A = this chain, B = another copy of it.
Amino acid sequence: MNKQQLLLQERFNEKIKFSEEYLNKYGRDWYQGLIPSPIAIFFPENEEDVTDIIDFASKNKLKIVISGGRTGLNGGATATDGEIVLSTEKLNKIQWDEENNEVICQPGVITDNAKKFVEEKGRFLPIEFSSTSSSSIGGNVATNAAGAKFIKYGSTKDHVTGINVILPSGKKIQLSKRSLKDATGPNLMEIFYGSEGVLGLITLITLKTYPIMDFKETILIKANNLNTVQSKLINKKNGLISSLEFWDKNCHALTGGEVDSDYIILLELVSQEKKEIEKFLENISEKFGDPVSLLNSKQASKMWSARENIPVLLSDMNAYKLDICVPIKSLQKYLEDINALNLGVKIFAFGHLGDGNVHLNLVGDKKINESKNKIYEVTKIHSGSPSAEHGIGQRKKYIWTTFSDYSDKHELLKTLKKSIDPENIMGPKVFFD
């Protein structure tokens, strides 16, 4: 152990770990492109531990990387330069606020544990994406995680009514917004949504929950054009649609499906009144020229499994993943424009039709980087986001310069970071070089 490690051990005892096993496991997130190199892994058990480690880091010129469920894809939680990793793993208490139907979580609560806890209270927490079995609620808030239920429930921030944050100065603050209207200056909780741990550690999160929907149906639509489906379904915001996923024929072939349309669309309807869904179903067949089938529970389960399996199969193929969002009405044209590029790589597209978020997966031996750049050019023309769900972390910092629309935001973010973390103690390599 070096001198700093010895000092850390002396100060924090059992709460800090230095073994290779810990450094390798907790030193990185899912992104494989960076080599972890932390000096220690710290497991705070309460807020005092957090302020203690900040104090220590500040006095010893050390940096802190906050780590939750380590499911990030862009190295936002990877310590590459001798930082102390602050794992929220032991900050995992969860409470129920009966009066307000809200769940109060410490940041290390695993998303699925929170969802299960809420379900046991007869309510629903609509944070749903593929890594919720490992991701943490703190990470969900700090990245404003979205996912399949966005169309009905929005992203994580839409559920938050209050957060406690320990700032990089060690100061603990409480922010909340319990009323729908609150014109007391800007809503400053917003700066922490998507902050990826560079503006402080969120130590407590209060989340709204929602009624469980008693009735659910899944509909399969085979379509050759996404626009018709979108215009017929999405403009009608009746609250029945809880998921609206799509994948292209390349993805469909990959899952072993029979390819007889350009796109597969899977639509989930939920309601507390059966007749609402029935009415919707009555109308839907008339509306669509495309084949529409109502799936029984076995068929539905099979199709949702197929959907979930797509990214796994693509990972096995070593696909290069792009995470794009374009304005919903542009999605069809955007995909046409991408295909018209004739990139010389195979493209697999799947995503969320309700919000314009498409995960483009490129498979090929070469031309990947060139293809990515060409796709980004088309993304700019369509005013799209180059990181819809997965953040910036360390890996995607090139976005600030590649996408000139983001350069002013980057500068402003730097100003905020400097004002809140003048010593650059937290997440020193995230967002900024």
Contacts and interface: CB of A to CB of B under 8 A. Distances in A.
How many protomers of this protein does the assembly include?
2
Given A174-B408, A408-B175, A412-B173, A190 B181 contact: no
A188 B411 CA distance: 11
A413 B188 contact: yes
A416 B355 CA distance: 31
Interface stretch (A40-48, A241-249, A389-397): A389-397
A7 to B, nearest CB: 30
Contacts of A392: 183-185
Nearest to A391: B183
B355 A183 contact: no
Contact of A387 (B155, B184, B391): B184
Chain A: interface secondary structure?
loop
Contacts of A357: 179-181
Given A173-B411, A408-B174, A180 B238 contact: no
Interface string A377-409: 000000111111111100010010000011011
A171 to B, nearest CB: 8
Contact of A191 (B186, B195, B239, B328): B186
Contacts of A383: 176, 178-179
Contacts of A390: 183
Nearest to A389: B183
Contact of A195 (B182, B186, B385): B186
Contacts of A183: 143-144, 146, 194, 323, 385, 387-392
A194 B187 contact: yes
A287 to B, nearest CB: 13
A196 B185 contact: yes
Q: A interface, how many residues as a size bin?
A: 35 or more
A148 to B, nearest CB: 12
Q: Which of A100, A179, A411 has the most CB of B within 10 A?
A: A179
A60 to B, nearest CB: 25
A52 to B, nearest CB: 21
Contacts of A355: 179-181
A180 B420 contact: no
Nearest to A405: B176
Contacts of A143: 183
A285 B179 CA distance: 30
A413 B155 contact: no
Interface string A10-41: 00000000000000000000000000000000
Contacts of A186: 190-195, 413
Interface of A: 100, 143-144, 146, 150, 155, 173-176, 178-188, 190-196, 237-239, 323, 325-328, 355-357, 383-392, 396, 399, 405-406, 408-413, 415-416, 418-420, 431
